A and B are shown apart, each in its own frame.
Chain A
């Protein structure tokens, strides 16, 4: 996105560096249940994009089907949005990314949308390293079809219907790491500061950035015994670090005691700072990340933060050896080979 943003104005209290107000990053009014975790995430998205000063017309909002997928309508009114079909948004994102590699793609999905019906496409999108910020608003159930269990519901959970979950949950973070993702994070919709920081860093990341956010369904999965309820998430959240994001257009001046924080440089010149908390954790260590996730699953722990980060994985558009201009905008002279080329092909059939 660095190529698409203008220089920041000197000082503008109520506007961002593009001179846009927060309002210009908002969307239609939400029609979700009052208190739904998804709405909190929507607010965090609005703030993150406002903070970054992303030009709304360069954003593509993509989603599948579900309460979570509806939310792309509730932020960034000035951006094109595509509410697609259930479980297939990853494929739409792949095509959109190839058509115009300068777009900032933000995909919003649910745990049903991604971990149940769309699991295959999710894996393939990640392994291709499509340039997209991919958020999963994870409530352990299908909100829109009234609370059935999804594939991320933890084993042993008693659903509101009384059904006890017998199967292993799909851990989308572990899966993303396994598939070669370079930006994998977990968070909680109620931890708005962390979600907002993670989204900003994800937008600055090149390639697929997966953020799995526990986002309680207050209507169908907020009871005792659910590991995706508000109370459970709030009480169990254990941040891996205190995270900060310094965009490429701001000067970095970090001053931490040696050994207490890590400063990570991103490809676009932005920085992430990770200040050490209780857990001694290194987001660059892939095996450590998988081990942590496995441990968390076994012990029902809820770690949040940047679980794994590796800025050096080539994204799909680079693998495709693509020209810089969007394919979508090429003139006829660039997409229709010449008469001579035509004649040379015809010769091979004669």
Chain B
């Protein structure tokens, strides 16, 4: 007796109801899927290159188009990032364009109700409201809050309009929440932003240490590139250094768990051991490194108007060594829970002159109240042993968003930044004023608000008008309730440009329909200094227009036609060529527009027609002029800086009453707040809702089993959600983990708005909660 394969006897199942599905099962090997067929589709597809819409890996994709619809995706074999491969999000990314609730018309609030209006009416209203707000409350009462998913032209025109024309530094982007500590880490250690290495490091390294970085889910294509390198080269080890056990731990050769926040102590202990064992690369350190210390006990920024300015002070090697005396492996074992043996083991990997070591990190180190410090400390390790700026030796700060580097870090869409340099610097202001064609006095030399403080200012009423583009702060702001209540106050005017309804469009007074991704021309910039151009591949729906063009329309209504003169069929190319003037030096040169159009991404500095793969190394980097084997030209002393940075505890740690750590993050299926990926059927079905991961022993103590509702309560708020035991990841005892993609379980009601005093980036990985069976 076997399973009957006679079709008449099949019980009708969901999969068997269509003739196609039945035929497919009778003719195995033939692919029939259940999607709806395009009418009149001849079955012909044309392929167009683009960077993936989602993570900062920046895979090149080829989008298949039939008629005016995107119908398929494949990895771009010409793109060196992913060499023809994607992850599940990339492969299904075009489906995110076609959610049924796509915003295609503008809406404005009239008598409390959102009503559809022609987009010109909405743009008129925005301009009028901005003028009115500026005249009654001053220029610093209007703000724009953008995104690491802004295209480069989006961010550029936003900065030009607000900083150059209106004259307010109220320009921030959500990358403050994900990359600010990486930036301040680079600026303090090297004096210049963005990684010195590139993804090719993966093929050269013998050791990978992932610092609080679950790459198997967050940077999947780089992760499988790493696995493939290990398989091919043999002599490769992957060390997962984390606060919770994940898919990355499963694939790693060794997994080391540390207590939240104590990465600071462990990094110092590694340096301690490197020095004690004489593994320091003396020649490198003497020639290329100088030593600094800064202020300590620097606070957490939980109070309004918090200010902090570090005071760097030069120290010498001996003083650095003395500073490290507190960080013996035995002592750090007590703080961190990492055994002295494992600490020595880590140090020996970095210290072994025969091994090439690449460290990867992302949100674990950046969303950290000492985020700048921990970035510094990992650079310290690499600098002490001279493992940097050569293939395979790479301290590598990864990004989470497709253009956090391109649009926020390079264009400088942060309150203190300009496309080149900072507002505080007169020369930088002059350069900007000249390129922007505005009087230099327009550009205010004083930064205003970083993101958290910007939303506090909205709550206080210092900011009355805010325009939010391509991001969803009403899901992602920590200590969410305060900022939602602030946004809902009388006399606050909120404009939101987006593609789908979200909790942020829920608080809007005007909603603008935005073109998404390949419905507009633009550029992204990924983690390895790669700028990636894409064309308008399919038309935007309804009245949707690019964020760039929305800003230009409003700028013209405010009287800045002269600064925004471009026509709609060539504005992206013109904007790119204007922007490129800011980076006209071998340290930062960007590729010309035509080159970007032709290639699946070009790395900067792009000098004399060549991309720079490893910076600070004269073999690869034409900006090196010192004649030495390395040239760290970012700082004036032409050296990289090692920083003495102590371990300091988290802003809030578990205590008697709130006895668990809360950690938040992502899953492979969903990207950020899920406003796009949840509208991709396969991704939603694979991960339909969020959950709280609990250690099995803690769950048993609480008396909860998989799927039971659990209340997570902090001093800020509470949320009840289903328990996940031995699900995607396993936190250690005393910690819970929650993915933040699901707007029906707003975990940020619970989180704390403490941030790194140097970078102003909040810590989403650590606060204290207690649990109750709901």
Q: Are A and B associated in one complex?
A: no
> B residues bordering A, Cβ < 8 Å?
none
